[in-house]
């Protein structure tokens, strides 16, 4: 492989680094605004931690989907779930942004990465279904664990992504445990705590 091909891949990685500065609506335990890269890291850790409870799963494929699923947000940022409205779905813009990030990669990688992103977005495989469900689980964990600003809408999380978490038995079981924390945080927040 010549140096220009290596440089093209390095350029992709340099551009993808923007995900570290792309902020989400959640906060860490210390109160710092969470980045999309923070979320992606813990989603992959979540998958690895529970992989022994996910039978008949291509773990490498699942991890690739998790790493790539929000990468398009490096260009125009994350849109928090409560604000995902409008004529064009979030995924249309995010896919276009993702494609632009891939522009320096060789055709076979562009094709693989886009295929995995589409698989996730359209929930076309068992791995995509698990990734979608655990993506929601990671968000719920962070919202409960983080030091969120006053007025944070914990109650929204009681329904957030339920159709995805209900579709995966492990996610549904995790959700039942997490929803207890969410309900307690919502009640505490309503009391002005």
In the chain the domains, ranked by start, together with CATH numbers, are 3-190 (1.10.3210.10)
Chain centroid to CA 111: 21
Question: Can you give the pLDDT at residue 185?
Answer: 94
pLDDT per residue as tens, the chain (193 positions): 899 999 999 999 999 999 999 999 889 999 999 999 999 999 999 999 999 999 899 999 999 999 999 999 999 888 766 666 554 556 788 999 999 999 999 999 999 999 999 999 999 999 999 999 999 999 999 999 999 988 899 999 999 999 999 999 999 999 999 999 999 999 988 876 5
Give the 3-state secondary structure of residue 128. helix
Alpha-carbon span 67 to 41, nearest angstrom: 8
Nearest C-alpha neighbor of 105 from the set 9, 2, 3, 7: 9
pTM given for the model: 0.93
Alpha-carbon span 129 to 171, nearest angstrom: 10
Backbone φ, ψ for residue 167 (5° rounding): -80, -10
Alpha-carbon span 172 to 136, nearest angstrom: 11
DSSP states of 6-58:
HHHHHHHHHHHGGGGG-EEEEE-TTSPEEEHHHHHHHHHHHHHHHGGGSTT--
Question: Can you give the pLDDT at residue 189?
Answer: 85
What residues contact residue 147 under an 8 Å CB cut-off, 6+ apart? 27, 28, 29, 30, 31
Q: What angle do CA 127, 129, 113 make, to 5 degrees?
A: 55
- List, in sequence order, every residue forming a beta bridge with 35; answer none if it has no partner: 23
Alpha-carbon span 175 to 177, nearest angstrom: 5
Is residue 56 within 8 A of residue 170, CB to CB? The reply is no
Question: Can you give the pLDDT at residue 25?
Answer: 87
The residue whose two tokens read 């699923």 is: 69
Question: Can you give the pLDDT at residue 87?
Answer: 47
């Amino acid at each position: 492989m010549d140096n220009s091909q290596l440089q093209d891949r390095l350029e992709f990685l340099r551009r993808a680094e923007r995900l570290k500065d792309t902020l989400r609506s959640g906060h860490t335990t210390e109160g710092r605004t969470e980045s999309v890269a923070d979320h992606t890291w813990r989603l992959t850790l979540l998958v690895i931690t529970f992989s022994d409870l996910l039978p008949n799963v291509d773990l490498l494929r699942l991890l690739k989907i998790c790493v790539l699923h929000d990468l398009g947000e490096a260009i125009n940022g994350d849109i928090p779930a409560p604000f995902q409205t409008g004529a064009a779905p979030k995924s249309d813009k995010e896919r276009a942004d993702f494609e632009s990030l891939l522009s320096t990669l060789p055709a076979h990688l562009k094709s693989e990465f886009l295929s995995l992103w589409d698989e996730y977005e359209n929930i076309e495989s068992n791995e995509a279904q698990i990734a979608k469900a655990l993506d929601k689980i990671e968000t719920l964990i962070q919202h409960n664990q983080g030091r969120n600003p006053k007025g944070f809408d914990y109650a929204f999380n009681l329904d957030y992504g339920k159709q995805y978490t209900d579709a995966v038995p492990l996610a549904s079981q995790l959700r039942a445990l997490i929803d207890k924390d969410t309900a307690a945080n919502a009640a505490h927040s309503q009391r002005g705590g």
